[in-house]
Amino acid sequence: MISNRFCGTIPKKFKNLKILFELDINNRFVGIFPHVVLKLPKLKFSGLWFNEFEGNVPKELFDKDLDAIFINEIIMMNNGLRSCVRDEIGLLSNVTVFDVSFNELMGSLQRVFLGW
């Protein structure tokens, strides 16, 4: 995992990392989505957190055989959570992905997502 304050763009030379299976970049990279990620043949985990990418995420990313994709999302999968989902989660107006699957959550999600 690269968790620093690197900025700029992700180098195109990353495509030479042929055996890389986990790319977790938690930085301040900018620009369009780094298409070099699509050229990593062994990639199974793509974490592109807290960057400032612009534009669309390419459809090809979702065609890859990845175990996980994280792009500034809310994902709390398989954490053993046992509770009710709080109404305040509905205040997160910019959330596009909310995945709490494989937990033991209770309650009504309808009232939570009325504001979305």
Q: What is the pLDDT of residues 19-34, one digit of tens each?
A: 999 988 888 888 888 8
- pTM of this structure: 0.59
- Among candidate residues 26, 76, 69, the one with its CA nearest the CA of residue 50: 26
> In the prediction, which pLDDT does 79 show?
66
Q: Does 1 score more than 60 pLDDT?
A: no
Q: Which homologous superfamily does the CATH classification assign to the domain defined by 1-71?
A: Ribonuclease Inhibitor (3.80.10.10)
Domain ranges of the chain: 1-71, 73-116
Over residues 35-60, the pLDDT tens digits come to 998 999 999 988 887 788 888 888 88
What is the pLDDT at residue 23? 87
**What pLDDT is attached to residue 17?**
93
Length of the chain: 116
